[in-house]
């Protein structure tokens, strides 16, 4: 199988972590998010993929100079300008020579254990032009809602309906199987949304199907979800990887609760860290109390700080004794959030 992975976005919801790093290159317990995504595809038979790149594309190619990620042969397609979802998928598929292949297309910030093999089986048995993986959510208003008939044929594609008007809570999970005919719908060089243009056209022709799939599914595009995804790899939900790296330095009297400390990070004496991520090379000096905090690579939180619900971007310095809550460092102007 061939795959197209969308990784071209600016990651605005994850700023300031993404001011210098694409979100799919952010660490998830010591491994970049993109490796977790690609490994999931490989488990369902994907052997070759293309990254649809836009923001800081060199960071991907530099990180994987041998052209493989998680054992999957990788191509790189850099959009000349943002082409939206369908435009990016079609552009990347053509650049990689996949335009005449059945492809799996995925959003690169979705971490999931959904059964893609079952999705492919429905796609093939139905003779579909496109098939969407669906996931149940409590609040569908942030997503594309996809009602289907008894055969799995999509009856409508409703993008971000009000919660009390949504006909179902099964939403577009950001994973698609697409035939060449679906890719051919997208005019080269034009900005096209798969959710607002391509899928509704396919619904009108009765060629779009979907499958309701249970299993782990998280959109890791926001700081709280990003942290939860990482924690799930340590608490048994998705794995039991060490939350504190053997290559980290943590004072013997430091208290850590639901906290991740990556290789090369340092946590000083007397610290109390709850639901916190300390990324590689970051330092938390002695006597700090951190709750719901992410400290990015290369940053230092000075001694005696008390931080709650704070995201510290790369290479920042938090003044000793500082008290802060519900903020980003550096602060992100509201007009670009």
Output the DSSP codes for 128-190. -SEEEEEEE-S-GGGSEE--B-TTSBB---EES--GGG-S-SEEEEEEEEE-HHHHHTS-TTS
Residue 228 domain-assigned (yes or no): no
> What pTM was computed for the model?
0.90
Residue 293 shares a structural domain with residue 219: no
Residue 80 shares a structural domain with residue 171: yes
Residue 231 domain-assigned (yes or no): no
Neighbours of 125 (CB within 10 A): 11
**What pLDDT, on the 0 to 100 scale, is given for residue 29?**
94
Residue 139 shares a structural domain with residue 273: no
Q: Point out the residues of the chain with pLDDT beneath 70.
A: 332-337
Residue 95 shares a structural domain with residue 170: yes
Residue 34 shares a structural domain with residue 74: yes
Read off the CATH number of the domain in which 36 is found: 3.90.550.10
Residue 81 shares a structural domain with residue 198: yes
Cα Dmax for the chain: 65
Residue where one domain finishes, among candidates 223, 251, 272:
223
Residue 236 domain-assigned (yes or no): no
Read off the CATH number of the domain in which 282 is found: 2.160.10.10
How many domains, in total, are found in the chain? 2
**How far lies 275's CA from each of 55, 132, 205, 241, 292, in Å?**
29, 34, 48, 16, 5
**How far lies 76's CA from each of 29, 44, 282, in Å?**
25, 21, 31
Please give the backbone phi and psi of residue 211, each rounded to the nearest 5 degrees, phi first.
-130, 130
SS (H, E, C) 52-106: EECCCCHHHHHHCCCCEECCEEEEEEECCCCCHHHHHHHHHHHHHCCCCCCEEEE
- Are the C-beta atoms of 119 and 211 separated by less than 8 Å? yes
Residue 146 domain-assigned (yes or no): yes
- Are the C-beta atoms of 250 and 262 separated by less than 8 Å? no
Residue 200 shares a structural domain with residue 307: no
Query: Closest by alpha carbon to 122, among 209, 216, 2, 214?
Result: 209
How many whole angstroms separate alpha carbon 128 and alpha carbon 202? 10
- Are the C-beta atoms of 226 and 147 separated by less than 8 Å? no
Q: Residue 18 in 3-state DSSP?
A: coil
Neighbours of 150 (CB within 10 A): 5
Residue 75 domain-assigned (yes or no): yes
Query: Closest by alpha carbon to 227, among 311, 124, 107?
Result: 311
**What pLDDT, on the 0 to 100 scale, is given for residue 337?**
45
Residue whose pair of structure tokens reads 């950001």 in the numeric block: 174
Residue 311 shares a structural domain with residue 248: yes
Q: What secondary structure letter does DSSP report for 274?
A: E
Residue where one domain finishes, among candidates 223, 251, 276:
223
Range of the structural domain that residue 312 is part of: 242-336
How many whole angstroms separate alpha carbon 275 and alpha carbon 78? 36
Read off the tokens for 181.
């005919």
**What pLDDT, on the 0 to 100 scale, is given for residue 336?**
46
Task: Give the rounded distance of the alpha carbon of 221 from its chain centre.
Answer: 5
Residue 233 domain-assigned (yes or no): no
Residue 76 shares a structural domain with residue 162: yes
Q: Residue 227 in 3-state DSSP?
A: helix
- Are the C-beta atoms of 56 and 43 separated by less than 8 Å? no
Q: Residue 116 in 3-state DSSP?
A: helix
Residue 165 shares a structural domain with residue 310: no
Residue 208 shares a structural domain with residue 250: no
Residue 134 domain-assigned (yes or no): yes
Residue 300 burial by CB count (10 A; 0-12/13-18/19+): exposed, middle or buried? buried
- Are the C-beta atoms of 322 and 308 separated by less than 8 Å? no
Q: Residue 32 in 3-state DSSP?
A: strand
Residue 139 domain-assigned (yes or no): yes
Residue 184 shares a structural domain with residue 302: no
Residue where one domain finishes, among candidates 188, 223, 258:
223
Read off the tokens for 206.
């009765």
């Amino acid at each position: 199988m061939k795959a197209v992975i969308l990784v071209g976005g600016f990651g605005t919801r994850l700023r300031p972590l993404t001011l210098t790093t694409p979100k799919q290159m952010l660490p998830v317990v010591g491994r970049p998010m993109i490796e977790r995504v690609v490994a999931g595809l490989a488990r369902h038979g994907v052997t070759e993929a293309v990254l649809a790149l836009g923001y800081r594309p060199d960071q991907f190619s530099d990180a994987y100079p041998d052209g493989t990620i998680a054992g999957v042969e990788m191509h790189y397609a850099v959009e000349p300008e943002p082409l939206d979802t369908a435009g990016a998928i079609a552009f990347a598929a053509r650049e990689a020579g996949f335009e005449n292949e059945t492809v799996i297309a995925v959003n690169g910030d979705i971490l999931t254990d959904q059964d893609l093999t079952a999705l492919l089986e429905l796609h093939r048995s139905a003779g579909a032009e496109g098939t969407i993986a669906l996931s149940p959510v409590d609040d569908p208003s942030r997503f594309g809602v996809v009602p289907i008939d008894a055969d799995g044929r999509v009856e409508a594609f409703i993008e971000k309906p009000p919660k009390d008007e949504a006909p179902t809570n099964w939403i577009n999970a950001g994973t698609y199987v697409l035939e060449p005919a679906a890719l051919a719908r997208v005019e080269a060089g034009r900005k096209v949304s798969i959710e607002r243009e391509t899928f509704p056209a396919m619904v009108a022709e009765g060629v779009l199907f979907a499958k309701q799939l249970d299993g782990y599914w998280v959109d890791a595009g926001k700081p709280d979800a990003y942290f939860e995804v990482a924690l799930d790899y340590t608490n048994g939900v998705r794995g039991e990887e060490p939350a504190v790296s053997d290559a980290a330095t943590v004072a013997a009297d430091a208290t850590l609760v639901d906290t991740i400390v990556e290789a090369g990070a340092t946590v000083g004496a007397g610290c109390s860290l709850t639901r916190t991520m300390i990324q590689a090379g970051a330092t938390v000096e002695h006597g700090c109390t951190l709750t719901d905090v992410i400290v990015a690579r290369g940053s230092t939180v000075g001694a005696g700080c008390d931080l709650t619900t704070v995201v510290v971007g790369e290479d920042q310095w938090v003044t000793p004794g500082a008290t802060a809550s519900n903020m980003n460092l550096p602060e992100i102007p509201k007009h670009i959030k």
